[in-house]
Amino acid sequence: MSRQIPFMKVPRGEVLFREGDAGQHAYAIESGLVQICVERSGKRVAVANLGKGEIFGEMAIISEGPRSATAVALEDCQLLRLEAQQFHHRMEAMDPVMRMVVDVMLSRLRRTLEQLDSLPENPRMPEEPPAELVEQALTQLRLEHELSDAIADEQFAVFYQPIVCLASGKLAGFEALVRWNHPRRGMISPDSFLPAAERSDLILEITKSVLGTISRDLPELRMRCLKNIENVKLVYASLNVTARDLADAQFAEKIEAHFVEHGMTTDALRLEVTESSLMANLEETDLMLSRLRRLGVGIAIDDFGTGYSSMNHLAQLPISTLKIDKSFVAAMNESDQSRKIVNAILRLAKELGIPVVAEGIETKWDARYLAREACEFGQGYFYGKPVPLEAALKLIANWRAKPVLPQLVHAKSA
């Protein structure tokens, strides 16, 4: 693999770059001390000594101009190299006023540096420990590096969790869940890396990779269904997508291309979108969802009940399924309140003519309760955990459709 490792060891005395050079990277100091200096009236003027947690070399990257100063390692240093791209897409996404403020600040600093010709005795030494905000930003930037390596190395695995028709007990589909198969840390759950991926463009690459896997796996999964058709439906795959994916103008075409390549029709795909992602860019999202619906792609609102979507907008968007968040389902048995929320969501969905998937079904009681309340579909550990493709294929072959409702009627009348 020809990728460069972003961590660098720099020996004491090494010049990282000189004033006037073209800038390609910025750097974060993991350890050591770096001096920033300029050459004025034939004298070297030190303007700052930077230590752990500080960033330098960002000005040339952000303003796409020459280096404003020279950077020299005063001690042996460990640096994290930051790519221009990590700044550029954030600058593009930035509020225009803030962008203008940053530009003004940078050009002022450049002018001040140009006018420096008196030698300060001692440039400031780094005193205060790096602020929490800097550490958070560095954690994000390090994770982005690891994630782009993971994308290039294809370290993402897709696990399939069964979704079941509650009335018949037939297997109806699978939610495709991405896991990061980290070479050192093992399987990492999406909660630990998707938020970071979402804040950068990397989420698009991850979605593309999962989409590729799903479109490859679906023909095999469906073939297996044909051999057990009295117990399973022709399964669909449900993919989680973000506002950023939906904002990609080519998203529908990309899905179509993947599916055509593997001889699959796009009606085998369902997309899960959270309320907040749906509401992010309402107009564009609505257009994209309509295009996807025309391709036969189903659209499910994910984690319903936890977001802040406007009922009016929900009713207008081309939604085909509603997924009740597992927090309500998990608490149903003990909390009247949660049961009432579940019932209210079921009634609302019924009014809108949208079928419901209840997430987080863990017990037979949950399944029976929801089936009696005419909830169409269910998902959760009671029916099965997310499993790799091979196990999903076995699950299809061995699935036995057991309706939960007759026992309930029996139990009640007994």
Among Mg ion, ligand CMP, none, the one that 113 touches (CB under a kind-dependent 5 to 8 A) is ligand CMP
| Residue whose C-beta lies closest to ligand CMP | 60
Dist. CA 185–CA 183, nearest whole Å: 6
Q: Does 67 bind ligand CMP (CB under 6 A)?
A: yes
Yes or no: say if 3 and 152 are a contact pair by the CB < 8 Å rule. Answer: yes
For ligand CMP, which is the closer residue by CB, 82 or 288? Answer: 82
Question: If residue 389 lies in a helix (H) or strand (E), which one and from where to where?
Answer: helix 389-398
Q: Does 57 bind ligand CMP (CB under 6 A)?
A: yes
Yes or no: say if 357 and 164 are a contact pair by the CB < 8 Å rule. Answer: no
Token digits for 301? 């609102």
Distance of closest approach, residue 15 Cβ to ligand CMP, in angstroms: 12
Among Mg ion, ligand CMP, none, the one that 163 touches (CB under a kind-dependent 5 to 8 A) is none
Distance of closest approach, residue 30 Cβ to ligand CMP, in angstroms: 16
Cβ neighbourhood burial of 126 (10 Å; 0-12, 13-18, 19+): middle
For ligand CMP, which is the closer residue by CB, 29 or 370? Answer: 29
Among ligand CMP, Mg ion, none, the one that 151 touches (CB under a kind-dependent 5 to 8 A) is none
Yes or no: say if 60 and 22 are a contact pair by the CB < 8 Å rule. Answer: yes
Site for Mg ion (CB under 5 A): which residue of 144, 217, 272, 376?
272
| Count of C-beta atoms within a 10 Å radius of residue 323 | 26
3-state secondary structure 95-159: CHHHHHHHHHHHHHHHHHHHHCCCCCCCCCCCCCCCCHHHHHHHHHHHHHHHHHHHHHCCCEEEE
Among ligand CMP, Mg ion, none, the one that 272 touches (CB under a kind-dependent 5 to 8 A) is Mg ion
Distance of closest approach, residue 308 Cβ to ligand CMP, in angstroms: 40
| Residue type present at position 346 | L
Calculate the alpha carbon distances from 95 to 101, 244, 332 in Å: 10, 17, 43
Distance of closest approach, residue 217 Cβ to Mg ion, in angstroms: 17
- Interface mask toward ligand CMP for 18-37; x: CB under 6 A: -----x------------x-
Among ligand CMP, Mg ion, none, the one that 302 touches (CB under a kind-dependent 5 to 8 A) is Mg ion
What would the DSSP string read from start to end of 269-309?
EEEEEEHHHHHHTHHHHHHHHHHHHHTT-EEEEEEETSS--
Q: Does 113 bind ligand CMP (CB under 6 A)?
A: yes
Site for ligand CMP (CB under 6 A): which residue of 28, 45, 47, 273?
47
- Interface mask toward Mg ion for 232-271; x: CB under 5 A: --------x-------------------------------
Q: Which residues contact 310 (CB under 8 A, 6 or more apart)?
A: 279
Distance of closest approach, residue 142 Cβ to ligand CMP, in angstroms: 19
Q: Does 144 bind Mg ion (CB under 5 A)?
A: no
Say which DSSP state 267 is in. Answer: G
Q: Does 59 bind ligand CMP (CB under 6 A)?
A: yes
Q: Does 60 bind ligand CMP (CB under 6 A)?
A: yes
Q: Which residues contact 211 (CB under 8 A, 6 or more apart)?
A: 239, 254, 255, 258
| Residue type present at position 139 | T
Q: Does 58 bind ligand CMP (CB under 6 A)?
A: yes
Which residues are near ligand CMP by CB under 6 A? 23, 36, 47-48, 56-60, 67-69, 71, 109, 113
> Could you list the residues that contact Mg ion (CB under 5 A)?
240, 272, 302
